[in-house]
Amino acid sequence: MKLFSLEGKVALVTGASRGLGRVIAGSMAEAGAHVILAARDKQKLEEAVQAIRTAGGKADCEAVDLADEKAVVETFARIRDQHGSPHILVNNAAAMPRAPLLESTLEQWDQAHSVNTRSVYLLCREAARGMIERKEGRIINISSYVATVGRDNLLAYSASKAGVEGLTRSLACELGAHGITVNAISPGLFLTEMATAIKDNPVVLDKYRQLIALARPAEPHEICGSVIFLASSAGSYITGNTLHVDGGVDNVMPVRDGKS
Ligand SMILES: NC(=O)c1ccc[n+]([C@@H]2O[C@H](COP(=O)([O-])OP(=O)(O)OC[C@H]3O[C@@H](n4cnc5c(N)ncnc54)[C@H](OP(=O)(O)O)[C@@H]3O)[C@@H](O)[C@H]2O)c1
């Protein structure tokens, strides 16, 4: 058995039109999976699919707004009919409305929760049917360091990501006896479009460097190893966990004083 191979598996990756989802999809295809990329931007999805195929991988895409409950369920049914029920589900898409409490709106709250938590629940439910039948499945939900540490301006996002981690643990309990593992990955600061407001602000970026044990933000490809690990036979006895891929943010407090 090849420990990190995804040969013969169908994997659905949401939020794969750019950022971490796109590199995750590419690395899963490299590991042998037939990857279905989902997000709203059809053109970017098609470009990503083409790049994977050019590199010799197998990929298709589905354009879907994950905030739309009906569209999520219909899209999943189409994927199942065309490619078979996925062996691996990576819930990676997310919306990140930014606002301090008093300026925040219910619309922002609902946006964060519909994309980041409700669509995760819906896709887990739809994907679990096929996984239960097959007695095998891997669900990986992408959370965030702010689910653990909290952060100003991101209240709806951090609450939705804490929800993702709670959902992950409960589904691990419920689905484990069916041979399905359910884990979360909690990324730290990765230099993607989502991190533009930090990337473009040298003062804030420097603050982040001070808070990160490895003293730097991550490059997008640094997420891939954790996903392949949890999706492949290498991760067969791991469930209900949140794996922190954050350079040391959630559990550390770098002082870097050298004396005190
Ligand atoms: N970057 C970081 O520093 C960081 C830190 C912690 C956690 N994370 C988590 O890592 C994951 C990936 O983040 P990223 O940095 O790659 O973000 P990103 O560059 O903003 O990409 C987000 C992805 O989600 C998709 N998406 C957003 N709203 C959607 C909707 N309504 N329906 C369908 N797809 C939607 C976007 O595609 P379309 O616009 O084409 O729909 C895009 O592909 C997220 O779960 C995020 O919370 C990121």
Encode pLDDT of 167-225 as tens digits: 999 999 999 999 999 999 999 999 999 999 999 999 999 999 999 999 999 999 999 99
Percent helix / strand / coil, the chain, rounded to 5: 50, 15, 35
Rounded to whole angstroms, the Cα distance separating 45 from 60 reads: 9
Distance 1 CA to ligand 1 centre (A): 33
Residues with CB under 6 A from ligand 1: 15-21, 39-41, 44, 64-67, 92-95, 115, 142, 144-145, 187, 189-190, 192-195
Residue 116: is its pLDDT beyond 90?
yes
Mutational test site, ligand 1, from 47, 165, 190, 244, max ligand atoms within 8 Å of CB: 190
* Cα distances (angstroms) measured from residue 217 to each of 26, 169, 193, 245: 21, 28, 13, 11
Give the pLDDT of residue 77.
Answer: 98
- Which tokens hold the place of 218? 């991550």
Q: Which residues contact 33 (CB under 8 A, 6 or more apart)?
A: 6, 7, 9, 10, 11, 58, 88, 231
pLDDT for res 181:
99
Residue 133: what are its φ and ψ, rounded to 5°?
A: -60, -40
Mean pLDDT (the chain, rounded) = 97
Q: Which domains does the chain have, with CATH numbers?
A: 10-245 (3.40.50.720)
Contacts for 68 with CB less than 8 Å, ≥ 6 apart: none
pLDDT of residue 1: 77
Share of residues in the chain with pLDDT > 70 (%): 100
Quick one: how far is CA 92 from the chain centroid?
A: 3
pLDDT category of residue 97 using cuts at 50, 70 and 90: very high
- Name the residue among 185, 188, 192 with its Cα closest to residue 226: 185
Look at residue 200 in the predicted model and tell me its pLDDT.
94
Residues sharing a CB contact under 8 Å with residue 202, sequence separation 6 or more, in sequence order: none
For ligand 1, the distance from its centroid to the CA atom of residue 182, given in whole angstroms, is: 20
User: Residue 187 corresponds to which tokens in the numbers above?
Assistant: 């990324």
Nearest CA to ligand 1 atom 7: 144
Model pLDDT for residues 232-247, shown as the tens digit of each residue: 999 999 999 999 999 9
Q: Do you know the residue count of the chain?
A: 260
Q: What pLDDT is stored for residue 174 in this prediction?
A: 98
- Which residue among 192, 200, 204, 219 is best mutated to probe the pocket of ligand 1, counting the most ligand atoms within 8 A of its Cβ? 192
**For residue 257, pLDDT beyond 90:** no
**Under a CB-based contact definition with an 8 Å cutoff, are residues 227 and 191 in contact?**
no
Is the pLDDT reported for residue 98 higher than 90?
A: yes
Distance, CA 21 to ligand 1 centroid (Å)?
Answer: 7
Q: How confident is the model at residue 251 (pLDDT cuts 50, 70, 90)?
A: confident
Residue 132, pLDDT score: 98
Which residues lie across from 139 on neighbouring strands?
89, 182
What are the backbone angles phi and psi of residue 218, rounded to the nearest 5°? -95, 155
pLDDT on residue 207: 95
| Residues contacting residue 8 through CB under 8 Å, at least 6 positions apart | 32
pLDDT per residue as tens digits for the range 23-58: 999 999 999 999 999 999 999 999 999 999 999 999
Question: What's residue 258's pLDDT?
Answer: 87
CA distance 26 to 61: 13
> Is the per-residue pLDDT at 147 higher than 90?
yes
Question: Rounded to 10 degrees, what is the CA torsion of 20, 26, 30, 34?
Answer: 110
Pocket test for ligand 1, best of 13, 17, 20 (most atoms within 8 A of CB): 20
State yes or no: pLDDT of 105 exceeds 80: yes
Question: With contact defined as beta carbons under 8 Å apart, do 21 and 224 qualify?
Answer: no
CA distance 65 to 54: 27
Nearest CA to ligand 1 atom 33: 39
For the annotated catalytic residues, the residue numbers are 157
Work out the average pLDDT over 117-124.
98
Asked if 74 and 47 touch (Cβ cutoff 8 Å), the reply is: no
**If you measure from the C-alpha of residue 15 to the centroid of ligand 1, how many angstroms do you get, rounded to a whole number?**
5
